Chain A
Amino acid sequence: MTAQVSEHLIYGGKEIPMFSNPLGLYLIASKVSFKSPHTANWRGYVGTWEVKEYEGVERLYLIGLYAHKTYDQIVGVRDIFPGYDTVFAHWFSGELRLPQGEQLKYRHMGYGSIYEYDLMMEFKHGILINQYARHNELPEEKPVDQSKIPAFLRRGS
């Protein structure tokens, strides 16, 4: 599986890549699906989100959407949520993972790449209730025993 294109989150005026898909639950419940335009975007859309603060409460909003209804036909927020340009993501409860810092390891799979740390934001029905940073380390990997790899798979053979 190819590494997947991230969502975007605007927080504190900064745009940050986001390795979570808060729109997923809404799409399942409303039985909406998109077409994948390429292998780096199996879900078929990229959303732009923003955490907006009002009277001390921070909420998650979907402010942009670039979704493939078909390979050529692109739809946006208004097509999925008629009458709304911005949508309060009240259906979302769970954690958002926002990778930060240097990329320590690239993984050619989903959101598998490891960064220096992840900013984790926990939401309950679209309201931010907690956030913390999670420091990551490179996982220990056993050295590869070259003799166990078949000759035709060895680099340079």
Chain B
Amino acid sequence: MEQFFAWRPHSWLDYLCLYLLPGVFLGLYFLSKLIQSRPGEFSRDLIKAMGRERTLKLRIQDTAVYAFALFCLMVGWPGFLIWLPFDYLKEKRNQAWQDRPDFDCAPEYLLERITPTQAEALNIVYDPLRFAPEIAFGHLHGPWSKFVSSIQPDEELWSFLVPKGAKSGKYQFPAESEITGYARVKQGAVVEEFLY
């Protein structure tokens, strides 16, 4: 061990090996990520059943590509080290966007603050054929009650209207028709929505 720490580079070959070493570690890191994302046993069986197994030629091609990529990493690892944190941040931003709830109502579509009692009075269901309970929100009375009971003291209840054609939701698709409902709002942000 002492010998290992006492070692110092002398020739240009020693310096070259020292330079290439971080690239080798980086290559191993990417290789481990690649192995983790390999198709599972089920997918492999499926590919096999479809007769889409990888031929020997393809395997040789892949090996050559990986060997070339490893060479690039060994030589150009400082560049990859600069790129890596940017890639990490991009992935984190993507994940944060994926985790965002997909509400139709954006803050600009909020109409007015309303109390649960007012909202209920406005939405008593009436069906002369008696195929809906004559109560607020009819068949959706249960989900509405749950929605109202989840309003926290620091939140407000607002009515909202997304006009037809306006972009709505996480994916910003144009609304096919007018969307109305109620939203739990906390400090101007929509926490939950009840479409009705």
- Chain A residues engaging chain B, CB cutoff 8 angstroms: 25-26, 28-31, 52, 54-55, 59, 61, 81, 84, 86-88, 90-91, 93-95, 122, 125-126
A95 with B176, Cβ < 8 A, contacts A31-B143, A81-B139, A90-B138 known: yes
The reply to whether the CB of B39 lies closer than 8 angstroms to some CB of chain A is: no
Cα distance A28–B180 in the bound complex, in angstroms: 15
Q: Is the CB of B138 within 8 A of A25?
A: no
Q: Is the CB of B142 within 8 A of A95?
A: no
A84 with B131, Cβ < 8 A, contacts A30-B142, A93-B178, A122-B177 known: yes
Q: How many inter-chain residue pairs (CB < 8 Å) link A and B?
A: 57
A30 CB to nearest chain B CB (Å): 5
- Secondary structure at the A interface, as helix, strand, loop or mixed, is mixed
B139 CB to nearest chain A CB (Å): 6
Other-chain residue from B137, B138, B176 in contact with A88 (beta carbon distance below 8 A):
B138
The reply to whether the CB of B6 lies closer than 8 angstroms to some CB of chain A is: no
Cα distance A122–B177 in the bound complex, in angstroms: 9
| Per-residue A-contact encoding for B185-196, CB less than 8 Å = 1, 0 else | 000000000111
Cα distance A122–B140 in the bound complex, in angstroms: 21
A90 with B127, Cβ < 8 A, contacts A30-B142, A81-B139, A122-B177 known: yes
Q: Is the CB of B177 within 8 A of A88?
A: no
Which residues from chain B contact A28 at a C-beta distance below 8 Å?
195
26 contacts between A and B (CB under 8 A): A25-B195, A26-B139, A29-B143, A29-B194, A29-B195, A29-B196, A30-B142, A30-B143, A52-B129, A54-B128, A59-B127, A61-B129, A81-B139, A86-B131, A87-B132, A87-B139, A88-B125, A88-B127, A88-B139, A90-B125, A90-B132, A90-B139, A91-B137, A91-B138, A95-B177, A125-B125
Which residues from chain B contact A29 at a C-beta distance below 8 Å?
140, 143, 194-196
Which residues from chain B contact A59 at a C-beta distance below 8 Å?
127, 129
B39 CB to nearest chain A CB (Å): 21
Q: Is the CB of A88 within 8 A of B131?
A: yes
Chain B residue with the shortest CB-CB distance to A83: B133
